[in-house]
Amino acid sequence: MKVIIVGAGVLGVSVARQLAVVGENVLLLDQRGAGTGTTATTFAWTNSSRKPDPDYHRLNLAGMEEHTRLAAQLGGAPSYFPSGALQWADAANERRLADNVERLQALGYPAHWVTPDEAARIAGALRIPAAITSIAHFPSEGYVLPDRFVNNLLADAEEHGATCAIGEVVAIDDRPDGVSVTLAGGEVRTGDRVVLAAGRWTQRLAARAGIDLPMVTDTGRGAPTVGLLGYARSPELDLRCVIHSPGLNLRPEAGGHTVLQALDLNADVDPADPPSADGDIASTLARRFSALLPDPGRAPEIDLRIGFRSLPADGHTVAGYASAQSRVYCLVSHSGITLAPILGRLVAAEISTDQEQDLLGAFRPTRLTGVRRSDIEVDQHATGLGEQ
């Protein structure tokens, strides 16, 4: 079977790798290159911390477990780190954190309270502010280095025979006898199945195949799709796990660098007028980071990067064929980093064997067919402690 995968982000490459491993003929297309879209601007925290929907929680748990299995199979530099995560609450966030810890403990999700001294040993070289009143530890969580992860997946996919090419898809023809995609230069590629895994561009591409896949598409100032990340080049920091605090989220990056996220600042981020390196947003991010450093006197060097989240309208992953007759498989998720390994395996199994996978049953695109958008759309602004 020949499968054309549109989108070489973390989901597309994961599916390509799994299909190649089981012997399918795989062509992976991306308009810019592997890992250069949504995957390049993600906080990359692996978790099922605030996933109250039971089906979504189970799927994310499976994603976390699959990361461990996949890490043992992939070559290349390590890209997955089961470091655990800490959430620090001040008086304003105490109740929110306590309620979530209680809910997760009732589900059997590893979560427990730690003292500031214990938290300091887990976190590494960070200073915990005096205003922090409670700290929870989530030992099963972790993080991914997205560029390494995609490169490792792609290398393994190509080793198993997959082909990756640059090409912008402008049309998709879904027929009973096969599928074809037309590229911007006029070239037509044919196959037996197409997987749409194009992140925030998935709705637009789906429409070209006659598929209605409602997503949040606003990319203006403060839109829920818009997220700002800071990449701190200095000072180098011995950060050992993911941190969520009331004003700043942090995760380790390669070479002692740190990825920073301040959710409340996203409301002032306009992709059409990106924040400057010496503007108010950059200064606020630097000030909050400095307040957590062992030596707050040294001004950090931070590069800013705007990202765009891939948000299905109802907030949940989409995974499945557009209809019972369709040969186009739609795949999009806001939890792409956590879910990439499990979605890669399950989606590849559905395509190669025609056997439905139970974990994906609640996430079919057909759940959105004929439904008024106003009945399903939810507010997906991430603003609170432990959100993404």
| Predicted confidence band of residue 37 (pLDDT cuts 50, 70, 90) | confident
Per-residue DSSP letter, 358: G
Tokens (6 digits) for 262:
């301040």
Per-residue DSSP letter, 215: B
Cβ neighbours for 91, distance < 8 A, ≥ 6 positions apart: 131, 133
β partners of residue 166: 30
| Predicted confidence band of residue 40 (pLDDT cuts 50, 70, 90) | confident
Rounded Cα gap, residues 200 and 215, in angstroms: 8
Segment 104-112 mean pLDDT:
98
Q: How far is CA 269 from CA 39, 211, 281, 305, in A?
A: 19, 31, 8, 11
Q: Are the beta carbons of 307 and 227 closer than 8 angstroms?
A: yes
Output the pLDDT for position 295: 81
Reduced to 3 states (helix: H, G, I; strand: E, B; else coil), residue 27 is strand
Output the pLDDT for position 374: 84
Tokens (6 digits) for 356:
């439905």
Q: How far is CA 168 from CA 3, 39, 165, 201, 284, in A?
A: 17, 18, 10, 11, 38
Rounded Cα gap, residues 246 and 384, in angstroms: 8
Q: Provide, rounded to the nearest whole percent, the portion of the chain with pLDDT above 90.
A: 92
Segment 118-136 mean pLDDT:
95
> Is residue 337's pLDDT more than 90?
yes
Rounded Cα gap, residues 186 and 182, in angstroms: 6
> What pLDDT, in 10s, does the model give residues 204-247?
999 999 999 999 999 999 999 999 999 999 999 999 999 999 99
Buried-exposed string 75-92: b where 16+ CB fall within 10 A, e elsewhere: eeeebbbebbbbbbbbee
Write down the mean pLDDT value for the chain.
95
> What pLDDT, in 10s, does the model give residues 263-319?
999 999 999 999 999 999 999 999 999 999 988 777 899 999 999 999 999 999 999
Buried-exposed string 51-62: b where 16+ CB fall within 10 A, e elsewhere: beeebbbbbbbb
Segment 68-96 mean pLDDT:
97
C-beta atoms surrounding 48 within 10 Å: 23
Cβ neighbours for 121, distance < 8 A, ≥ 6 positions apart: none
Main-chain phi, psi angles of 45, to 5 degrees: -95, 125
Rounded Cα gap, residues 14 and 10, in angstroms: 6
Per-residue DSSP letter, 76: S
Q: How far apart are the first and last CA of the chain?
A: 37
> Is residue 168's pLDDT more than 80?
yes
Buried-exposed string 186-204: b where 16+ CB fall within 10 A, e elsewhere: eeebebebbbbbbbbbbbe
Output the pLDDT for position 178: 93
> What pLDDT, in 10s, does the model give residues 236-268?
999 999 999 999 999 999 999 999 999 999 999
Output the pLDDT for position 50: 94
Q: Are the beta carbons of 170 and 33 closer than 8 angstroms?
A: no
Q: Where on the phi/psi map is residue 168: left (φ > 0), alpha (ψ -120 to 50), or beta?
A: beta
Output the pLDDT for position 336: 96
> 345 or 377, which is more confident?
345
Q: Are the beta carbons of 279 and 122 closer than 8 angstroms?
A: no
> What pLDDT, in 10s, does the model give residues 178-192?
999 999 999 999 999
C-beta atoms surrounding 29 within 10 Å: 22
| Predicted confidence band of residue 127 (pLDDT cuts 50, 70, 90) | very high
| Predicted confidence band of residue 385 (pLDDT cuts 50, 70, 90) | confident
At residue 228, what is the residue type?
Answer: L
| Predicted confidence band of residue 369 (pLDDT cuts 50, 70, 90) | confident
Q: What does the H/E/C string look like for 259-327?
A: EEECHHHHHHCCCCCCCCCCCHHHHHHHHHHHCCCCCCCCCCEEEEEEEECCCECCCCCEEEECCCCCC
